[in-house]
Amino acid sequence: MRIAIGADHGGYPVKAPMKELLESQGHTIVDLGAYSLDPADDYPDFAKAVAEYVASGQADKGIVLCGSGVGAAVASNKVRGVRASVCHDTYSAHQGVEHDDMNVLCMGARIIGEELAREIVSSFASAKFSGEERHKRRLGKLLDMEASF
């Protein structure tokens, strides 16, 4: 799977370990920054880069890391076609894909430890949208909402 990843300074320390983990699982990772720790950088820049990469079809899924995960999710969801959420547990990370077709995972590096982050990222990366009728119907309603903006 092609996965785009990005992080501001709050998420930066966890980005490299997540890249390494996903690569070891056979995924192709595109790193959209930050490429160094800059305490003055802004999470919307990295969320936008990852979200647009996913929305354009250049990646199958995206991961955005910031301090809390909140800013990353708020910003990612501004991009049409993106369904992003903060997940700090493994159930949400796979169920969000299976039921809601979540395509961008957001996490807060100040909230979770690296080991839990590994498990969450693995759950997200391996999950697939179930395609069940009720989930397709709900997804259709989301797409209708998006189309009406």
**C-alpha–C-alpha distance, residues 110 and 127, integer Å:** 25
| Residue 52: both structure tokens together | 């647009």
Phi, psi for 20 (deg, rounded to 5):
-60, -45
Asked whether position 49 contacts ligand RB5 by CB under 6 A, the answer is no
Give the range of 23-31, 68-76, 80-88, 124-132 binding ligand RB5 by CB under 6 A: 68-76
Among 29, 68, 76, 79, binds ligand RB5 (CB under 6 A): 68
Q: Are the C-beta atoms of residues 53 and 79 closer than 8 Å to each other? A: no
Among 43, 46, 53, 124, binds ligand RB5 (CB under 6 A): 43
Asked whether position 111 contacts ligand RB5 by CB under 6 A, the answer is no
Options 66, 87, 94, 106, the catalytic residue? 66
Q: How many residues sit in the footprint of ligand RB5 (CB under 6 A)?
A: 9
Asked whether position 70 contacts ligand RB5 by CB under 6 A, the answer is yes
Q: How many other C-beta atoms can be found within 10 angstroms of the C-beta atom of residue 38?
A: 12
Q: How far is CA 2 from CA 9, 68, 134, in A?
A: 23, 24, 27
Active-site annotation, residues: 66, 99
